[in-house]
């Protein structure tokens, strides 16, 4: 049976070169970076070199990169600090953010005297930038805007530059969950002066359990984990040395090959859209995922004409791995909070499938998926 992995927005296969980097350093670099002897200093040196190398891809400085256990921890670190440390009393976000953002905001709202305001969205899940500006100008409170760079379910791209400009103009802080963007899109924190963003290595063919927060120079960050002074006091806990080095390698490969891989994966997505339209009537695409310039080239969210309760299960039986929404909420029977927000009830009840692509997929793989779908969609 074929195995076709089309759930790369959930996680990506680790590259062989990354596995080799991790393996070699697990053997040779076993010291604790906090130790003062030469074995510890060697580990510390490699971690700091990785920090510097990762920072350069975003035109950031090494001191602006804080290593974490992934995107969710990094989101928590930044958003909680905004309220408890940086004087934020109003948070502006959208109802289609990742739960790492939404649930953190909900927790803060319960425990602190803050106002939470939700920016309006159109039927495709696009931010209403005029409404965002209105919310920013509503009062003089210290504000944090938290909007994701690429939506993990429908692939919509945020106009990060526009949001940055609005935040600078209105003296607000800007945080973006960029987990679906880092390693897939270039961005420069000097040209687009974002205050905070987060990344997770397993979204760009790196290891799970490691990521980082970008925190613009000048913001003092208090830890949410206590017990040590690692990461310049921002995060307690011995650094995950081999995973950090694996993340560094994965990011190097991602940005070295970015143009060719973007072109190839976009061609796969365009081919799949064409084949879907040729073979199925009345299908639709959620958000802007069909649009080549306004969505991630990795994500395509397809809405079928009715409910097919067993579609994901039956695709899995045929060796095709896809998602009905965010894999981060697997096991939930509530459906996608993103689709439930932007679609009318009748449309939200229809079966939607997120296909997310990588460089390891071929057009022949997609032909097989179409063949299987034709048998299942009746």
The residues carrying an active-site annotation are 328
Q: Are 321 and 7 in contact (CB under 8 A)?
A: yes
User: CA 348 to CA 337: how far, in whole Å?
Assistant: 10
Q: Are 219 and 197 in contact (CB under 8 A)?
A: no
User: CA 322 to CA 301: how far, in whole Å?
Assistant: 10
Scanning the structure block, which residue is given the tokens 């509503």?
A: 138
User: CA 266 to CA 144: how far, in whole Å?
Assistant: 33
Q: Check the CA dihedral 216-222-224-229 and report its sign.
A: positive
Q: Which residues contact 238 (CB under 8 A, 6 or more apart)?
A: 32, 33, 34, 228, 230
Q: Are 212 and 74 in contact (CB under 8 A)?
A: yes
User: CA 109 to CA 91: how far, in whole Å?
Assistant: 9
Residues facing residue 144 across a β-bridge: 91, 173
User: CA 325 to CA 289: how far, in whole Å?
Assistant: 13
DSSP secondary structure, 334-376, as one string: S--HHHHHHS-HHHHTS-EEEEE--TT--HHHHHHHHHHHHHH
Q: Which residues contact 32 (CB under 8 A, 6 or more apart)?
A: 40, 43, 238
User: CA 298 to CA 7: how far, in whole Å?
Assistant: 10
* DSSP designation for 232: G
Distance between start and end Cα atoms, the chain = 23
Q: How big is the CA angle at 363 (ends 362 and 365), to the nearest 5 degrees?
A: 65
Residues facing residue 300 across a β-bridge: 355
Q: How are beta strands 4-5 and 320-321 bridged, if at all?
A: parallel
């Amino acid at each position: 049976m074929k195995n076709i992995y089309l759930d790369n927005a959930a996680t990506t296969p680790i590259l062989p070169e990354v596995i080799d980097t991790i393996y070699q350093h697990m053997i040779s670099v076993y010291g604790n970076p906090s130790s003062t002897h030469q074995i510890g200093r060697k580990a510390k040196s490699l971690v700091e070199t990785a920090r510097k190398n990762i920072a350069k891809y975003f035109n950031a400085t090494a001191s602006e990169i804080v290593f974490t256990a992934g995107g969710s921890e990094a989101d928590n670190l930044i958003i909680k600090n905004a309220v408890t440390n940086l004087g934020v009393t109003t948070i502006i976000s959208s109802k289609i953010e990742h739960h790492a953002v939404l649930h953190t905001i909900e927790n803060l709202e319960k425990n602190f005297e803050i106002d939470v305001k939700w920016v309006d969205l159109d039927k495709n899940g696009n931010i209403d930038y005029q409404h965002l500006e209105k919310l920013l100008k509503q009062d003089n409170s210290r504000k944090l805007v938290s909007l994701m760079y690429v939506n993990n379910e429908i692939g919509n791209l945020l106009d990060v530059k526009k949001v940055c400009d609005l935040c600078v103009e209105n003296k607000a802080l800007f945080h973006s969950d960029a987990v679906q963007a880092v390693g897939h899109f270039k961005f420069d924190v000097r040209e687009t002066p974002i205050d905070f963003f987060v990344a997770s290595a397993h979204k760009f063919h790196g290891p799970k359990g490691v990521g980082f927060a970008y925190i613009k120079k000048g913001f003092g960050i208090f830890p949410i984990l206590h017990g040590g002074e690692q990461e310049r006091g921002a995060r307690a806990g011995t650094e995950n040395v081999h995973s950090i080095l694996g993340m560094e390698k994965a990011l190097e490969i991602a940005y070295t090959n970015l143009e060719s891989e973007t072109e190839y994966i976009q061609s796969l997505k365009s081919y799949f859209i064409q084949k879907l339209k040729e073979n199925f009537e009345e299908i639709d695409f959620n958000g802007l995922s069909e649009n080549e310039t306004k969505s991630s080239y990795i994500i395509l969210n397809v809405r079928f004409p009715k409910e097919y309760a067993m579609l994901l299960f039956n695709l899995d039986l045929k060796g095709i791995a896809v998602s009905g929404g965010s894999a981060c909420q697997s096991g939930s029977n509530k459906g996608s909070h993103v689709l439930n927000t932007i679609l009318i009830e009748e449309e939200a009840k229809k079966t939607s499938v997120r296909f997310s692509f990588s460089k390891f997929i071929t057009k022949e793989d997609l032909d097989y998926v179409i063949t299987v779908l034709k048998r299942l969609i009746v």
